[in-house]
Amino acid sequence: MKKILSILLVLSLITVAVFANGGSDKAAADDGQYKMVLLVKSLGNGFFEACDDGAQQAVAELGNMEVVYMGPSQSTAEGQIEIIETLIAQKVDAIAISANDRDALIPVTKKAMAAGIKVISWDSGINIGGRIIDLAPSNAEFIGRQQYQLIAELTGNKGQIGILSATSQATNQNEWIKWMYEEAKKPEYADMEIVEVVYGDDASDKSYREAVGLFSKYPDLAGIISPTTIGVLAGAKAIEDEGLQGKVQLTGLGLPSEMQHYIEDGTCVQMALWNPVDLGYTATYICEALITGKITGAEGEMIPAGRMGEIPVGADGSAVMGAPFVFNKSNVAKFAAIF
Amino acid sequence: MSDNLVRQDRLIDEFSFKKRISRLFSSWEFILFLTLVGIFILFSFISPYFMDYFNLMNASLSFAEKSILALSMIFVILSGDIDISVASILALSSFAMGNASVKGAGSGTLVIIGLATGLAAGIVNGFLVTKIKIPSIAVTLATLSIFRGISQAILRDNAYTHYPLKFAYFGQGYIGNSVIPFEFVFFLVLAVLMGFILHKTTYGRKLYAIGNSASASRFSGINVDRIRFINFAVNGLFAGIAAVLLTSRIGSTRPNIATGWELEAITLVVLGGVAITGGKGNIFGVVIASLLVGYLKFGMALVNLSAKVMVITTGALLITAVLVPMLLEIAKAKQKLRSQRSELKLERKAS
């Protein structure tokens, strides 16, 4: 019986060896290649797999990088820390992390940076001190201005615009709305005005009622901006139910998977959100620039980021990719399958 | 006449059968050890980074806390119970420390709060199991939700991230100027302590008796419920210890901290040769299993195997550990039946 047990255990070891050879093939191929790990919150998430697609696009363009996609089986900081420990042991060149915890990863990423590894965070950042650069998909100014531009395109730069926000205390939305007002000051929007901001509290039913309220209060309403995924969905439903398609335009920040139907039937012709493919792509470019010494992460440096153009490094290593990605009839189906 | 013979035969057979089983289990640790050596040899060939003193020591940080959970879990499982709430106790304990830290508690106070919270949660489990007489699987299934639920309800999407600088030593510190993590040494010390209690004291002997037959133990004067109660309390305390170490290591408390660790701890115990039905097993197996799983995962991560493959491999190891002894027992029993039948036939022919 010892024999049987030993045989089974040896078999399981051989299995590991077979799998592992696949891994070491990669290692063998990395002569002169810089090795970067794209560390995501957890495996089995379409959003992050799309990020990896973007990273591989950058790899194809750059030619000197190899990107390995990794993540824990559950989205915990502990799982990510375990992986980072082994990456330190392997002495990879760079790690780009979408963090499960802003602070919990700092001790281990500090250890990694002390070992000469370039660490950046993206999507979900690590606090200052735990990474060289933090790549945000967008910032308040980009988002706010773009939202207003999107609705202006739909209403032909005129008419009354209502804003359907989340809660009245939501920091993000309030900041974005501030920039919408800022954008509205431009001369080309002279025939447009923001008539009211209403709050749906990120609840579907309240958002729906607030949208309907806007229709009755402003019979000439030309468009609604809803910079929240729940609000934009409720707004679309309200427009459809009231038969106002084409009369009241809608844009906002929405999930392609939730909004596909309304984008395809024209209720919401275009909306925006960050694009995971671009995120992975840009993260890879940033790592390459740090490894090869093109940048050090100091404030004011310009990161060459391929098709995304040049991205400036801001205070405390913060970098912003750009305006959110615009989804419309032509691309929504593709992204709806992802997130 | 022939009936008596058969009975005697059975007695002798069972006696030697038990001996053989005990031999099998004493050799299980040996096989685990061989596998561990095999893993070391294998990975030192396929990864240049594996056989590195610093790396090997550092890797112990990734499994020390889970292994500590396993140490006290042995006691619970040996006496025929189960505790699937340990990771939630860990979360609650970490939450209590985070809350106290925000209010300005020092390192010493935090440790006491962490341990006390763990112990208290363990006592709740023990009380429900032994006084209210609810089966341990049901009790800990409920407390699994409740203990973590408390921190989820209060913390929501936030985290406690401010801990005193000194508090970082438990999880991030090294012994003196060496590269040996404090956590790893602490795990070994606890293993020796628990091993001593399990194998050298009457308390340990009683555990095996309870695991084999709780009612027989009761009739022979063992206070079964008291021992089971203590097991749950100690298990909670150890979850508190793990909470101190993990919270100190990552310096942050989130409601999802240590999700799923209860299963990893139970995996180590079962892989270590402790029968899930109780009564069988020892501490060496579990310690070796801890190192085995820890370094197997470390090695697999070094060659960039996906976390999914790792989970599958650990699962396969576990099934091997549980299934093989069972299959062997079944094969044994069949063989015994066959030989008995042929003996009966012989007897009949003779008569």
Three-state secondary structure string covering chain B: CHHHHHHHHHHHHHHHHHHHHHHHHHHHHHHHHHHHHHHHHHHHHHCCCCCCHHHHHHHHHHCHHHHHHHHHHHHHHHCCCCCCCHHHHHHHHHHHHHHHHHCCCCHHHHHHHHHHHHHHHHHHHHHHHHCCCCCHHHHHHHHHHHHHHHHHHHHCCCCECCCCHHHHHHHHCECCCCCCEHHHHHHHHHHHHHHHHHHHCHHHHHHHHHHHCHHHHHHCCCCHHHHHHHHHHHHHHHHHHHHHHHHHHHCCECCCCCCCHHHHHHHHHHHCCCCCCCCCCCHHHHHHHHHHHHHHHHHHHHCCCCHHHHHHHHHHHHHHHHHHHHHHHHHHHHHHHHHHHHHHHHHHHHC
Class of the domain covering A140-273: alpha beta
Round to whole Å and give the CA distance between A22 and B95: 41
Q: Measured between alpha carbons, how far apart are the two ends of chain B, in Å?
A: 11
The pLDDT of residue A22 is: 42
Looking at CATH, the fold of the domain delimited by B28-332 is given as ABC transporter involved in vitamin B12 uptake, BtuC (1.10.3470)
- Domains of chain B by residue range: 28-332
| Average pLDDT, integer, range B21-46 | 80
Tokens of A193: 């005005």
CA distances to A178, B171, B248 from B110, rounded to whole Å, are 43, 14, 10
The pLDDT of residue A172 is: 82
Q: Provide the sign of the torsion angle of the four alpha carbons B79, B82, B88, B90, taken in this order.
A: positive
Region of poorest pLDDT, from A9-23, A212-226, B20-34, B95-109: A9-23
pLDDT at B1 > cutoff 80: no
Q: Closest Cα to residue A329, out of A266, A237, A240?
A: A266
The residue of chain A with its CA nearest to that of B323 is A5
The pLDDT of residue B228 is: 96
Contact A216/B at CB under 8 A? no
The pLDDT of residue A8 is: 58
What DSSP designation does A313 have? B
At A333 the three-state DSSP class reads: helix
Round to whole Å and give the CA distance between A26 and A250: 48
- Domains of chain A by residue range: 32-137+276-322, 140-273
| Paired strand residues for A84 | none
Tokens of A163: 């804003």
Q: Closest Cα to residue A115, out of A84, A94, A80, A91?
A: A91
Contacts of B310 in chain A (CB under 8 A): 73
The pLDDT of residue B149 is: 94
| pLDDT above 90: percentage of residues in chain A | 71
pLDDT at B205 > cutoff 90: yes
Contact check, Cβ <8 Å, A86/B159: no
Specify the pTM: 0.74
What DSSP designation does A329 have? T
Contact A29/B at CB under 8 A? no
Please provide the average confidence, as pLDDT, over all residues in chain B. 89
Residue B286 Cα to chain centre, angstroms: 7
Contacts of A73 in chain B (CB under 8 A): 307-308, 310-311
At A29 the three-state DSSP class reads: coil
Interval A272-304: pLDDT, tens:
998 889 999 999 999 999 999 999 999 999 999
Round to whole Å and give the CA distance between A52 and A39: 10
Contacts of A39 in chain B (CB under 8 A): none
Q: What are the residues whose beta carbons fall under 8 Å from the beta carbon of B81, sequence distance 6 or more?
A: B129, B136, B228, B231, B232, B278
Contact A9/B at CB under 8 A? yes
Please check whether residue A139 is in contact with residue A274, taking contact to mean a CB–CB distance below 8 angstroms.
no
Nearest by CB to B305, from A20, A27, A91: name it: A20
The pLDDT of residue A339 is: 81
pLDDT at B204 > cutoff 90: yes
pLDDT category, A17, cuts 50, 70, 90? low
Q: Which amino acid makes up residue A338?
A: I
Q: For residue B160, which phi and psi values (nearest 5 degrees)?
A: -90, 125
What DSSP line would sit under A90-156, residue for residue? HT-SEEEE--S-TTTTHHHHHHHHHTT-EEEEESS---TTS-SEEEES--HHHHHHHHHHHHHHHHT
The pLDDT of residue B21 is: 58
| Domain A32-137+276-322 architecture | 3-Layer(aba) Sandwich (3.40)
| pLDDT above 90: percentage of residues in chain B | 63
pLDDT at B95 > cutoff 90: yes
Please provide the average confidence, as pLDDT, over all residues in chain A. 89
Instruction: Judge residue B142's burial from the number of C-beta atoms within 10 Å of its C-beta, 0-12 exposed, 13-18 middle, 19 or more buried.
Output: middle
Round to whole Å and give the CA distance between B116 and B10: 51
The pLDDT of residue A240 is: 94
Round to whole Å and give the CA distance between A223 and A150: 10
Contact A190/B at CB under 8 A? no
| Average pLDDT, integer, range B301-323 | 83
Nearest by CB to B307, from A23, A26, A71: name it: A71
The pLDDT of residue B29 is: 83
| Average pLDDT, integer, range B66-74 | 97
**Fold: same for A32-137+276-322 and A140-273:** yes
Residue B29 exposure: Cα atoms within 13 Å on the Cβ side: 15
pLDDT at A32 > cutoff 50: yes
pLDDT at A187 > cutoff 50: yes
pLDDT category, B17, cuts 50, 70, 90? low
The pLDDT of residue A322 is: 86
Interval B208-240: pLDDT, tens:
999 999 999 999 999 999 999 999 999 999 999
Nearest by CB to A86, from B246, B298, B313: name it: B298
Q: Which residue has the higher pLDDT, B5 or A64?
A: A64
Contact A172/B at CB under 8 A? no
| Average pLDDT, integer, range B149-156 | 90
Tokens of A305: 């980021």
